[in-house]
Amino acid sequence: MGGTNCPTCGTQLMDGGKIAGRRDPGAQDVSICRGCAEILVLTRSAQGLTLRPTSATEYLELPEDAQSLLRVAHLLVRRQQRLVRAPRQLH
């Protein structure tokens, strides 16, 4: 298991040179797991990329347009997966 798996559900998010839909994530970027809809922080360091769940505080510090994009993506993944698990509270 590399550093590009979702830390929550283990889904491999590296896909054709993209990671969680981002071709070239910056030093820090935010994306969403297509497996469990977890909102993830992508951090690039000397060790490579690491993924970790976004805290509610970090989410709220994102620009408003990024928040609404993530909210829509989150709902779409949830709808697709029809997970029975209770959604994580974002706010």
N-terminal to C-terminal alpha carbon distance within the chain: 31
What are the distances in angstroms from CA 88 to CA 34, 43, 44, 81, 91? 15, 21, 25, 15, 9
Out of 19, 33, 39, 70, which residue is the one contacting Zn ion (CB under 5 A)? Answer: 33
Asked if 6 is part of the footprint of Zn ion (rule: CB under 5 A), the reply reads yes
Out of 8, 43, 50, 81, which residue is the one contacting Zn ion (CB under 5 A)? Answer: 8
State the number of binding residues for Zn ion (CB under 5 A).
8
Asked if 42 is part of the footprint of Zn ion (rule: CB under 5 A), the reply reads no
Asked if 31 is part of the footprint of Zn ion (rule: CB under 5 A), the reply reads no
